[in-house]
Amino acid sequence: MIVFENVGLRYGLGPEVLRDLTFRIDGHSFQFLTGPSGAGKTSLLRLLFLSLRPTRGLITMFDEDAATLSKDGRATLRRRIGIVFQDFRLLDHMTTYENVALPLRVLGREEATYRAEVVELLHWVGLGERIDAFPPILSGGEKQRAAIARAVIARPQLLLADEPTGNVDPNLGQRLLRLFIELNKSGTSVVIATHDIALMDEYDARRLVLHEGRLHVYD
């Protein structure tokens, strides 16, 4: 589904953060992405999300060369990807419900057609009571769960999650992991960037480890 060939990334004139990345992410696959702080996990996810261009190498996504995509082409492609940002990126002026429903709204869907679905998902991630709350008053873990709900609501073909359990307790972390596994079973490829060794031990999956700019794959 996604193929990286000799991809390299540097920011500005800095050192190369990612070097010679060559790997593929198959449909239906599930993988953890790990590595020390500052290793480039977030940067790699941004490459996968097309919000960053590699300084060299070739990225093929859904059979299209990422470099040749137009801006609207990128927008269309992103509708097939769900992403959970490390810093959540919720819109502060919209309720939890509206934040989660945003991808569907952008798709132009009628509110009546997705309302029940959004509400049910919010209940399921434990935000049933916070539906009308605005992000600034949510606790850290609540924000994180809202961000996850937004990423999965449109049933993307690829789910990218950056440290999705950094702000929740281990119990809740397991529950969220189950959500990702379930999504994967229904056909979504999942990439989870995490430092949480306990979480990775929960589920036996492929591991992509970033170290000093290089990627080591443990299938």
Partner 1 sequence: MSTTEPLHRGVEVLAEPWDDLETGPLGANGPRLATAIVPKSSIAGSSLIAVVAIMAFLAGLTAGAVSMVVSAASDWRSDVGHEVTIQVRPANGRDLGADTRKAADIARAAADVADVRVYTKEESARLVEPWLGSGLVLDELPIPRMIVVRLRSGAPPDFAALRQTLAAQVPSATLDDHRRWIDRMRAMAGTAVAVGIGILLLVLAVTVLSVTFATRGAMAANRPIVEVLHYVGATDAFVSGQFQRHFLILGFKGGVIGGGAAIVLFGVIQALNAWVAGTPGADEAEALFGSFSLGAVGYLAIFAEIVLMALVTALASRLTVNRTLERVD
Token pair of 189, please? 């490829």
> Is residue 197 part of the contact set for a second copy (CB under 8 A)?
yes
Nearer to Mg ion, 167 or 188 (CB): 167
- How near is the Cβ of 150 to partner 1 at its closest, in Å? 7
- How near is the Cβ of 90 to Mg ion at its closest, in Å? 15
66, 77, 138, 215: which one binds ligand ATP (CB under 6 A): 138
> Is residue 129 part of the contact set for partner 1 (CB under 8 A)?
yes
> Is residue 171 part of the contact set for a second copy (CB under 8 A)?
yes
> Is residue 175 part of the contact set for a second copy (CB under 8 A)?
no
Nearer to partner 1, 37 or 68 (CB): 37
Q: Could you tell me which of 210, 204, 78 has the C-alpha nearest to residue 151?
A: 78
Burial 131-163, CB ≥16 within 10 A → b, else e: beebbeebeebbbbbbbbbbbbbbebbbbbbbb
> Is residue 26 part of the contact set for partner 1 (CB under 8 A)?
no
Q: Could you tell me which of 28, 86, 61, 43 has the C-alpha nearest to residue 215?
A: 43
Give me the residue label for tokens 């990807």: 81
Angle, helices 140-152 vs 111-124, to 10°: value is 140
Contact letters (x/-) for partner 1, 30-49, by CB under 8 A? ------xxxx---------x
141, 156, 164, 213: which one binds a second copy (CB under 8 A): 141
Q: State the CB neighbour count (10 A cutoff) for residue 49.
A: 19
Calpha distance 113→73 (Å, rounded): 26
> Is residue 83 part of the contact set for partner 1 (CB under 8 A)?
yes
Q: Between residue 138 and residue 157, which ones bind Mg ion under the rule CB under 5 A? A: 139-140
140, 182, 197, 216: which one binds ligand ATP (CB under 6 A): 140
75, 106, 137, 217: which one binds a second copy (CB under 8 A): 137
Strands (E), the chain: 2-10, 16-25, 30-34, 56-61, 64-65, 81-84, 158-162, 189-193, 206-211, 214-218
- How near is the Cβ of 211 to partner 1 at its closest, in Å? 8
